[in-house]
Each structure stands twice: as C-alpha cells, then as structure tokens.
Structure 1
Amino acid sequence: MLLLAFDTATPAVTAAVYDTERRVTLAAADQVDARRHGELLLPTIDQVLRAAGVAKEQLGAVVVGVGPGPYTGLRVGLVTAVALGHALGIPVHGVCTLDGIAHAAREAGLTVPFTAATDARRKEVYWASYDASGERVDGPAVDRPADLADRIGDVPAVGAGAALYPEAFTRLQPGMPEHQSAAALAALAAERLAAGRELLPPTPLYLRRPDAEVPKNYKTVLPA
C-alpha cells in the first residue's frame, strides 16, 4: 500500500510517500517555515507525489500528524488530510506528532529512555516521554520547562522545544531531529498498522485554547 503522510504541527511543512510493502520512503520533502503552512503544504504534497511517480488515485491511505501543535498550523494539515481522504475515498489515520519525532530519534540511534519536546510558544513546550523501545510512557502534555524536572527526570532530550530550553533539558542529544519528518511519521504508521494497532482519528491534539479568542464583554454595534 502507498501512504501519503504529512504534518504541519511544528514549524516544518513535511510530506512523504511511503511504500508499506517494501517499507521504503519513495519521496520526501521538508521545509521549515512556521508562517506559511497553508501556502506550502499542497505544493509540497504535489512535489512528493511527482517525485515518487505516484498518482493520487494510487494512494491507499493518508497519514497526518495530529499534534500537539499551535492551532492555526495544525488545522492546515488536518483539514487537508480529511479533504483528501474524502475526495479519494481512502482512510485517514492520525499519529501524534511527538511520536513521529521520537521514531526519527530512534532511527537515528537513540536507544535509551528519552523526552521529545516541541515549541508551544508562550514560553512553554509540548512534550512526551518514551521508553527505550520508543513507546510513549507519559504525555503528550504542555508545560513550562521549569516545571518538568520532576516528571521527565535526567534523561536525554530531542526536539526543537528541548533545544530552546537547555537549562531544563540538560541532556539535549546532538545530531537528533528537531522537527517532524513525514518520512518517519509514515514509517511509524506503517509499523503500527502492520502490527494490527489502531491509529488515532484525524482530530487535533491542541492541549490548550487557541491564541486568538473572541474578546470578553464584546459590544455589539447593531441596534437592539
């Protein structure tokens, strides 16, 4: 089966086409631009489909990162995934974005318990902890880095969120992925599907309210 995977929950706009039978990534593209998710995602999807020599009608499923992530960026990927799945008549599977980063870290050689963290803005991080096999054991959650010492312990850390706060994530691992990789996300989804594990629905893991909200005590200008 051919999977199309993408994620917009981090500053990276990332997409990949993955062959589940051969367990190989046919094409992948990644761009880091936190302000252009909506502008870059569809061209990036088109780019990887063309590079893989795959027509969208050949796809067997869509895999999308469900966060946690900022409201605006995250919903770009989820809306696109649901729309593609509906148009093509194929299933849409969700995967926790932090799980994808953790899988990439494992593939890069990390074989001990660790924490993955991404930037949540507001001086906070989205984070999750993983055991030596890469299975999530805590999180996902959103917290201030200074409040995490008791929960994460003195373990290695990966991800852009950890890199932003070295005073809290004191064992940041060099050479590890900072942002999401759709290739890793697809490989993880394929692995779980092959094992008969149920994936997440394509619904967002926001973990907190959006930055933009309707003002309280809003005054109407319409006549009573």
Structure 2
Amino acid sequence: MILLAIDCAASLCAASVYDAGAGRELGRSVRDLGKGHAEHLMAVIDEALAEAGVGYAELGLVAVSTGPGSFTGVRVGVSAVRGLSLALKIPAVGVTTLEALAAETRAALGPRTVLAALDAGRGEIHAALYDENGAALREPAVLTLAESAALAVPGQVALAGTAAQLIADAVGVAKPFEFGPMVATADIGTYAMLAAAKEPGERPKPVYLRAPDAKPQAGFVLPREERK
C-alpha cells in the first residue's frame, strides 16, 4: 500500500509518499515556512508525488499530524487530508506530534519511556508520556512545568520536544537526562512510518489542547435596528 503523509503542525510544510509494504519512503517535499501552509501545501504534496513517481489514484491511505502545534497549521493539514480522503475514497489516519517525537526518541536511544513535551507559552506545556513500545501512559494534556517535571524520572524517562530542557532544569538533579529531538515536530518520514502501522478508524481530528488565541470581536457588532 502506498500512503501520503503530511505535516503542517509547526513551521514545516511537509509531505511524504511511503510504501508501507516495503517500509521505505518513495518521495518527499519539505518547506520551512513558519506561516502560509494553506498556500503551499498542495504544491508540496505534488512535489512529493512527482519525486515518488506516484499519482493520487495509486494512494491507499492519507495521514496527517494532528497536533498539538500551530492552531492554524493543524487545521490546514487535517482539513486537507479529510478532503483527500473523501475525494479519493480512501481512509485517513492521524498521528500526534507528541507520539511522533517519542518514536524518534526510541529510534535514536532504543526502547524506553519517553516524555514528549512542547512549550506552549503562558507557563503551559503540552505533554504526553509513552512507554517503551509507544503506548500512551498519559494522553496529550496541558500541564504546568511542575506537573511535567513530576513525570520526568531521571534514569527512567527520556525527554523530547521543545520543553525538554525546561523540564530537565526544573527537575534539577545531578544525573543527566537522555534527550530525543528537542524540536516542535518530527521528521515527515516518522509520521508516514507510524501511519502505516495504524488501523484506520474515525477521521482525523485536530488535537487542540487549548482554545485559539484569536477571539471574535463581539464589541464591534452593530446593534440591530428595530423596525417601527
């Protein structure tokens, strides 16, 4: 089966075409945008498909990073994959940024428990804890730094994500932690690999752990004029 995986959860706009049967990537395209994922995503997908020599009709699955991450980026990615799933009549799966970062940590360090954590600002950390096989011991949630540090047992838990060093400093022990990637999102190939092992179920949904920063400006709504 050939699958297409995309990631717009952070600054990258990335796509990977992956042969699940052979366990290898056929093509990819990655742009470091920061913003503007919606304007570039379809071109990125076309570039990955062209490199792989694969057309849309040959895809058997589509996959997407569901966050946590950029509110807008996650929405763009999930909407695109759901649209492709409907148009091509193929299943879609979601992979969270935290499980992907934990998978890369295990790939680099070997089987171990991983606390994947992203600095969300405002004193909040988006974190999840995974065992040595990738099963979630604690699902993605908004935690304080103190709550995150309580999960980070030195010598037993490796750390990954943009909040990894913050957590290690908060624990403040002499024995150093092991670290995985200290970034906001994993390599697009990791999302493709994880997606290939998932059983399709419900359509992917964004993992929004807090409300978006933008709020409707209700104060600017004009009062309705009553008819006489």
Describe the SS at the equivalent of 1:186. Answer: helix
Decide whether aligned partners of structure 1 residues 14 and 182 sit closer, same or farther in structure 2, where only a CA change above 3 A counts.
same
Larger displacement relative to structure 2 (146-155 or 11-20): 146-155
Match of 1:159 in 2: 161
Answer yes or no: is the 8 Å Cα contact 2:114–2:132 preserved in 1: yes
Match of 1:192 in 2: 198
- Deviation digits for residues 164-216 of structure 1, max 9, x if unmatched? 665247656456362222211111121234xxxx5553111102111111145
What is the CA RMSD across the aligned residues, in angstroms? 2.4
Answer yes or no: is the 8 Å Cα contact 1:70–1:206 preserved in 2: no
- Does 2:43 correspond to 1:43? yes
Identity %: 35
Aligned residues: 220
Within 2, Cα distance between the matches of 1:79 and 1:101? 22
Decide whether aligned partners of structure 1 residues 217 and 38 sit closer, same or farther in structure 2, where only a CA change above 3 A counts.
same
Larger displacement relative to structure 2 (26-35 or 72-81): 26-35
Answer yes or no: is the 8 Å Cα contact 2:93–2:198 preserved in 1: no
Match of 2:203 in 1: 201
- Deviation digits for residues 125-153 of structure 1, max 9, x if unmatched? 22111112222211201223244222343
User: Who wins on radius of gyration, i.e. which is larger?
Assistant: 2
**Unmatched 5+ stretches in structure 2:** none
What TM-score results when the alignment is normalised by the length of structure 2? 0.84
Match of 1:61 in 2: 61
**Unmatched 5+ stretches in structure 1:** none
Within 2, Cα distance between the matches of 1:47 and 1:191? 24
What TM-score results when the alignment is normalised by the length of structure 1? 0.85
Within 1, Cα distance between the matches of 2:34 and 2:221? 33
Within 1, Cα distance between the matches of 2:101 and 2:109? 13
Larger displacement relative to structure 2 (63-72 or 210-219): 210-219
Decide whether aligned partners of structure 1 residues 109 and 90 sit closer, same or farther in structure 2, where only a CA change above 3 A counts.
same
Counterpart of 1:52, as a letter, is: A
- Does 2:102 correspond to 1:102? yes
Answer yes or no: is the 8 Å Cα contact 1:18–1:24 preserved in 2: yes
Describe the SS at the equivalent of 1:192. Answer: coil
Answer yes or no: is the 8 Å Cα contact 1:128–1:140 preserved in 2: yes
Decide whether aligned partners of structure 1 residues 33 and 110 sit closer, same or farther in structure 2, where only a CA change above 3 A counts.
farther
- Deviation digits for residues 37-96 of structure 1, max 9, x if unmatched? 223322211111111111111111101111122321110001111111122121111222
Decide whether aligned partners of structure 1 residues 211 and 17 sit closer, same or farther in structure 2, where only a CA change above 3 A counts.
same
Match of 2:181 in 1: 176
Within 1, Cα distance between the matches of 2:62 and 2:167? 34
Within 2, Cα distance between the matches of 1:5 and 1:101? 15
Offset at 1:15?
1.3
Describe the SS at the equivalent of 1:167. Answer: helix
Answer yes or no: is the 8 Å Cα contact 2:159–2:179 preserved in 1: no
Give the alignment partner of residue 223 of structure 1, picking from 210, 222, 225: 225
